[in-house]
Structure 1
Amino acid sequence: MQEWVQTPIGPEAGTWTTWPGERRVLAVVRTVADTQRLLDPLATLAPDPRVQVVFAIDPRSQFGAGVAALLAGLGAVVVPWEQALHTRFDLALAASVGRDLDRVHAPVVLFAHGVGFNKYVPVAGAGERAVARGTYGLGRDGLVRGGRLVVSRLALAHPDEERRLAASCPEAVDAARIVGDAAADRVLASLDLRDRCREQLGLGGGDRLVVAASTWGRASLVASRPTVLWRLAAEARREGCRVALLLHPNVRAAHGAWQVREWLRPWAEAGLVAVPAEAEWPSVLAAADALVGDHGSTTVYGTLTGRPVSLATGGRHDVDPASPMGEALLTLPSVDEDSPVLGQILREVTAGEEQALASIASRTTSHPRRFAHRVRPVLYELLGLREPASAPAVRPLRPLGLDLPGGRA
């Protein structure tokens, strides 16, 4: 059992700390993906010397592998889970509806796990059978425990999500605040620097990049439509096109990074590059000339680029039809894996497709580039502190640190 930490939140922490830390904030993390999601709202608090942020890893997550290493790389304070549950905090942030969220002693702000609340709650063994499932993050079963709402604020990206929340969990509507989407803002910021993103990948002006985006699970692109990736890698090599794979962090968490590398090795030898989980994936999206994806959030974020987006997924039964992904499944073209695929993916965007992409993209956030400005007042209100006079901090884009085969030296 991990020993409880003595600083910066122990009973005698004031004896040993340098900054007073008037308010203590707990970040509840379960996976690499939700840890990355929380880094954006935390960035608006972290520069304030009145605020001390610590992390706690929920040990019940099926996808917890890699979280401790990520936090260690950040140099963050990680407190044992039981200590976190027995300590009173001034604020807690989470991006997953964990089973113990109601045990946290703090006002909880819950952020979306992905874009647009796309997926139904997973049900073990359900497969494609018709099973009544709520939408993950909006369902009453996750937000209400013992008749009590477990969150003080629910951060939403778009008024459409508020309308869907009213239908699924009306008692949570008063807690909802529309703040926008930090990941969408990161994609837009990367698009402003598209030439630089492409240069970091070693891409010249005439080079073409296709990004393949896969979520986790049996219905994902890598699991259900591997033929698409095989054809894409082979055809792209013949045509001198580069291919990068954005893989959901849960895949490596469940199977192990080494095992995933070994399984992907044949594709890698064919020229496909698996982007590391810690890479700045919005910048990879911004560098792309086309995207092929499945029913995961990255596909929806890809519509922000305005470049062609194609679908290859077996996960339609996992998607809430009222979500942005539900709209994508109805309006974006699917790849025919029995025919050459590169030309289907790397194509000109038609007027009709341009309209579909814009419609889906508009649902990712109702306040583009404004997440930090809109979320900080929500957090400081709960902290009971006056906001700093300076503009809200935005987590900077990191260098890609990724080389594509055949790129320029």
Structure 2
Amino acid sequence: MSSVQTPSRPVHRDPGQWATVPDCKKVLVVIHTLVYGMRIKDLLVLFRADLRVSVVFTVAPHAFNDGTERVLADLGGTVLPWERAVATEFDLILTAGSQGMEQLHGPLVRLPHGAGHIKMSRRGDAPEGSIGGLGRGYLTWDGKVVPRAFAVAHREDLDTLTRSCPEALPITEVVGDASYDRLAAGLPHRAAYRRALGLAEDEQFVLVCSTWGLGSAFHRLDSLLPRLLTELPENCRAALLVHPNVWSGHGGWQVRSWLADGAGGRLPLLAPDSDWRPLLIAADYILGDHGSVTLYGTMTGAPILISQYPFRTVNPHSPGAQLARTAPSLSPTRPLAEQLAYAAERYRPEEYAAIAARISSEPGAFNPNMRRLLYRILELGEPAHRPETEPLEPPKRLDGKEA
């Protein structure tokens, strides 16, 4: 968490004197990174058409801030400067990150920003051996738990908290996972997503996924990229999905420059703000690493081939580690097409379904559970209708042409 101190000026309540609808509950949505913003974006539907609730946004300090502007521009929301946000009192604060949360004023709800709590804490973020997002370094400040509520996806997270931060257990609620539910709802529309991508019925689609950091597939892309361009069968198309933190950390020009030989050809490079979920559903094969996207791939029925996996920096008890022990590992010496065929031959749906079940223990229930939690903190009655799971937007064509 950030060590920046709270400004000394007094905290104030926005009187809303210029607002047409002034008597609203004030909600602050905190976005640290593009990934965190896309995660929080799934929650905004829960406040739709409720004139009792007014939502504003702020960008919190973070090393990977680049890209957050695109999320907010797409939303068209009111964005408060961070200095103003930390000097204002709110009725509810939503965040998927921990940096700076101790500076904010109001009941804060913290969510995970990925699936399965796969990664161990980075050095300096928390004590050695802590699991990313579930240790004291992410939930406390000066020995006190900061969030009013910590919304987790699976009951397994409670067991981890019992060991890593037991003082957070009383404020932790198991609500499920929004991306899990939206993927599940999108699975019947696979054919439509494939048509939107411009895939022919007889074409095979390989989605290549990379998280960020030294243990990622991107870190070894110099050896993988040539194989993707030369070893795939003629009826096989591929696309590369790179974690937004890579784009933010190195810059868009640099990422595109590194991948210039593949981008726009047989290996289109997807924009960092692309919704990866329809592409995951459309894939015939997934070539991934220890990122959340690869783990979500266990829901789709596509054979998975693990290209890179840093076991020493991964939570060994996570569903991601279970996936790495189950899925075949990419060999540097055998033809890629042969290995994809082997992954399909060895694919056992029940093994992957068991891994997918560890992403959420509340399948289909994220929106009802989360809305109940948020409106309880707002001290408002919930709107008199069931919150539906939003359908996924069709993806853009892989070749960049208009649909």
What TM-score do you get using the length of structure 2 for normalisation? 0.92
Q: Residues 22-66 of structure 1: CA distance to partner in whole angstroms, max 9, x if unpaired?
A: 20111111100000000112221233111111111012x110001
Q: Which residue, 118, 130, 134 being the options, matches 2:130?
A: 134
Distance 2:23 2:326 in 1: 50
- Offset at 1:355? 2.9
- Offset at 1:251? 0.8
Task: Name the amino acid aligned to 1:315.
Answer: P
- Partner residue, 1:69: 70
- Is 1:190 the counterpart of 2:186? The answer is yes
Distance 1:270 1:42 in 2: 36
- Would you say the 8 A contact 1:44–1:394 is kept in 2? no
Distance 2:121 2:365 in 1: 29
- Partner residue, 1:267: 262
Counterpart mapping for 1:176-187 below 5 A: 176-187=172-183
Distance 2:391 2:349 in 1: 29
- Partner residue, 2:94: 93
- Offset at 1:218? 2.0
Gaps of 5+ in 1: 1-8, 126-130
Distance 2:345 2:172 in 1: 37
Q: Which residue, 282, 287, 295 being the options, matches 2:282?
A: 287
- Would you say the 8 A contact 2:13–2:90 is kept in 1? no
Report % sequence identity. Answer: 38
Gaps of 5+ in 2: 1-10
- Partner residue, 1:163: 159
Distance 1:12 1:366 in 2: 39
Task: Name the amino acid aligned to 1:56.
Answer: T
Secondary structure at the counterpart of residue 82 of structure 1: helix
Distance 1:408 1:376 in 2: 37
When residues 393 and 75 of structure 1 are mapped into structure 2, their CA distance, relative to the original with a 3 A threshold, is farther
Secondary structure at the counterpart of residue 364 of structure 1: coil
Counterpart mapping for 1:42-121 below 5 A: 42-59=44-61, 61-98=62-99, 100-121=100-121
Secondary structure at the counterpart of residue 358 of structure 1: helix
Task: Name the amino acid aligned to 2:87.
Answer: H
Aligned length: 392
- Offset at 1:404? 3.6
- Partner residue, 2:7: none
Deviates more, 1:364-373 or 1:388-397: 388-397
CA RMSD of aligned residues (A): 2.2
- Would you say the 8 A contact 2:327–2:343 is kept in 1? no
- Offset at 1:352? 6.4
- Would you say the 8 A contact 1:324–1:364 is kept in 2? yes
Task: Name the amino acid aligned to 2:73.
Answer: A
Task: Name the amino acid aligned to 2:123.
Answer: V
- Would you say the 8 A contact 2:94–2:109 is kept in 1? yes
When residues 352 and 309 of structure 1 are mapped into structure 2, their CA distance, relative to the original with a 3 A threshold, is closer
- Offset at 1:133? 3.1
- Partner residue, 1:253: 248
Q: Residues 190-243 of structure 1: CA distance to partner in whole angstroms, max 9, x if unpaired?
A: 21210100000011221110001000112210212542332122122x422100
What TM-score do you get using the length of structure 1 for normalisation? 0.90
Task: Name the amino acid aligned to 1:241.
Answer: C
- Partner residue, 2:143: 147
Distance 2:55 2:326 in 1: 43
